[in-house]
Amino acid sequence: MGTGRAVAILLGKELRGELRSRELLNTTLIFALIVVVIFSFAFDPTAAEARRFAPGLLWIAFLFAGTLMLNPSFAREQANDTLQALRMAPISPFALLLGKILANFVFLLTAELVLLPVFAVLYNVTILPVIGRLLLVIVLGTFGVVVTGTVFAALASQARMRELLLPLLLLPVLAPLLIASVEATAALLNDEPALDPTWTVFLVAFDVVFFTASWLLCEHLIEE
Amino acid sequence: MELQIESAVFTAILIGCAGYAALFIAPDESTMHAIQRIFYFHAPVAWAGMDAFAVTFIANIAYLATKRPKWDWIGVASAEVGLVFTTTVLITGPIWAHPVWGIWWTWEARLTSTLLLWLLYVAYVMLRKMVDTPERAASYAAIFGIFAYLDVPLVYLSIRFWRTQHPAPVVFGGAGSGLDPEMSKVFFFCVLVMHCLMVILVRQRYQLERLRYEIHEARLAAEDYAARAESFPAVPKEIV
């Protein structure tokens, strides 16, 4: 079976599973919302202050939501040992990983897109005039989170204390991505909004580096 | 075995010499005076620590390519030694920074990168411990180690673009930087000594890991033998 077709089938399987229960999306979304709300208690945002730390807060909420959401992506397969079945299927390990990555990408992006307007209202941030460029930054950042996160979720799924281990592995690796996403978002929410070329290129570089690494190493990740 | 003791004693003597050179031979620095001498310890330890992580990276790749356990042992040995060195850097840094900058810590490129590097390799060591099957622990730790090392230049660049305060690179820093020739001799001697120490510690830790592996294998073999002996009751119990 070709990689493209295998990926499409796996993506379909993941999306179908999620659409039936909607557990993952609902939990993630509510969790991200709680992070945003809790933050306002910790920092008591006035309008000016809020604008200053809003980009950081937004990305912290995305990252936390991501780490929470990525955990089940491989752990879920263990209940009925379905990963074993996937390994035995005539598909490449890369197709298997890519299917998972794309599914997680769709989930996390959906959660983010729902959260974004709520966040804009709660923190009085104007996003409509820059929505196109903001989406570009969000897509690039989310892809980086999801690529590394899916690989690490596979690593953590075989470990003890996996729910705790995943953020421990993922968050330090995502530090440069967090800086780049926050800075790029901050440049868009400024008084003179502009797409920062340095940080945009940096985000692309991050995505390319880790996507290539995942592609090269996936064979060792999904072996038995 | 004897050679090991000799090289350890030799390194201990070298460390003594390096300490003497840093404290008494190196010339006084014109603005910072005595506190500057921690530089002969701080920077060489940092270099040796970084090199230990580079060894981990190479060992990680070699492990995934060959699947020979010895690369896993080298990987974990150098990661742990690198962690000890990085911890030392993170402790000696603030000791120097407080009198000179007036603050213990600042979120600047090299400090922040070092701290993140430390966190990354703590995660590496923890992951390797948390996975139960030894072969799987080795492969998974190797995959994470490669991701972590690829992250290092990105971490450094991102924080570099973001903010910076550390003294500009003094050694190999381009025009305007550079050490007094006398300082430079002492400095590179200290770098050499710290690398010797790093290599010796990695070697010890490697041997420990090898012994652990051998015990594990021996135990598996013994269990296997006992299980087989049980299924053939005719074999006298003494042999088991």
- Give pLDDT tens digits for A82-141: 888 888 888 888 998 999 999 999 999 999 999 999 998 888 888 888 899 999 999 999
CA angle (B133, B131, B122) in 5-degree steps: 140
B138 to chain A: closest CA residue: A220
Instruction: Indicate the pLDDT class of residue B176, thresholds 50, 70 and 90.
Output: low
Q: B146 and A217: CB-CB below 8 Å?
A: yes
Contacts of A179 in chain B (CB under 8 A): 158-159, 162
Instruction: Indicate the pLDDT class of residue B38, thresholds 50, 70 and 90.
Output: confident
As beta bridge partners, residue B131 has A159
Q: B154 and A213: CB-CB below 8 Å?
A: no
Residue B84, token pair as written in the block: 């000890």
Residue-level pLDDT at B28 = 79
Contacts of A149 in chain B (CB under 8 A): none
Distance CA A29, CA A15 (A): 16
Q: A165 and B119: CB-CB below 8 Å?
A: no
- What is the dihedral angle through the alpha carbons of B110, B57, A208, A173, rounded to the nearest 10 degrees? -50
Judged against a pLDDT cut of 90, whether residue B63 lies above it is answered with yes
Distance from CA of A213 to the nearest CA of B (A): 7
Token pair 């006084």: residue? B28
> What mean pLDDT, rounded, does chain B reach?
86
B121 to chain A: closest CA residue: A169
Q: B144 and A152: CB-CB below 8 Å?
A: yes
Residue-level pLDDT at A125 = 85
**Residue B226: which H helix or E strand, with range?**
helix B181-231
Residue-level pLDDT at B234 = 60
Selecting from B126, B151, B157 the residue whose C-beta is nearest the C-beta of A173 gives: B151
Judged against a pLDDT cut of 60, whether residue B173 lies above it is answered with no
**Residue B98: which H helix or E strand, with range?**
helix B69-101
The ipTM assigned to this model is: 0.90
Q: B127 and A223: CB-CB below 8 Å?
A: no
A98 exposed, middle or buried (CB, 10 Å; 0-12, 13-18, 19+)?
A: buried
- Which of B45, B44, B54 minimizes the C-alpha distance to B188? B44
Selecting from A169, A199, A202 the residue whose C-beta is nearest the C-beta of B144 gives: A169
Contacts of A206 in chain B (CB under 8 A): 154
Q: A165 and B126: CB-CB below 8 Å?
A: yes
For chain A, give every domain's residue range: 3-223
Q: A173 and B139: CB-CB below 8 Å?
A: no
Selecting from A158, A169, A205 the residue whose C-beta is nearest the C-beta of B123 gives: A169
Weakest-pLDDT range from A45-54, A111-120, B67-76, B103-112: A45-54
A159 touches chain B (CB under 8 A): yes
Distance from CA of B139 to the nearest CA of A (A): 7
Contacts of B150 in chain A (CB under 8 A): 209-210, 213
Q: What is the pLDDT of residues A191-212, one digit of tens each?
A: 788 888 889 999 999 999 999 9
Kindly list the residues of chain B whose beta carbon comes within 8 Å of any beta carbon in chain A. Answer: 64, 116, 119-120, 123, 126-127, 130-133, 136, 139-140, 142-144, 146-148, 150-151, 154-155, 157-159, 161-162
Distance CA B77, CA B53 (A): 10
Percent of chain B at pLDDT exceeding 90 = 48
Q: A202 and B161: CB-CB below 8 Å?
A: yes
Residue-level pLDDT at A44 = 73
Weakest-pLDDT range from A87-91, B146-150, B153-157: A87-91
Q: A209 and B162: CB-CB below 8 Å?
A: no
Percent of chain A at pLDDT exceeding 70 = 98
Q: Which of B111, B116, B158, B163 to mutate to test the interface with A (most CBs of A within 10 A)?
A: B158
Helix A162-173 vs helix B134-162: angle between axes, to the nearest 10 degrees? 40
- Residue A142 in contact with residue A69, Cβ under 8 Å? no
Q: B154 and A206: CB-CB below 8 Å?
A: yes
Q: Has this prediction a pTM greater than 0.80? A: yes
A183 to chain B: closest CA residue: B162
Instruction: Indicate the pLDDT class of residue A51, thresholds 50, 70 and 90.
Output: confident
CB neighbour list of residue A84: distance below 8 Å, 6 or more residues apart: A224
B131 φ, ψ to 5°? -95, 130
> What mean pLDDT, rounded, does chain A reach?
89
Token pair 């923190």: residue? A123
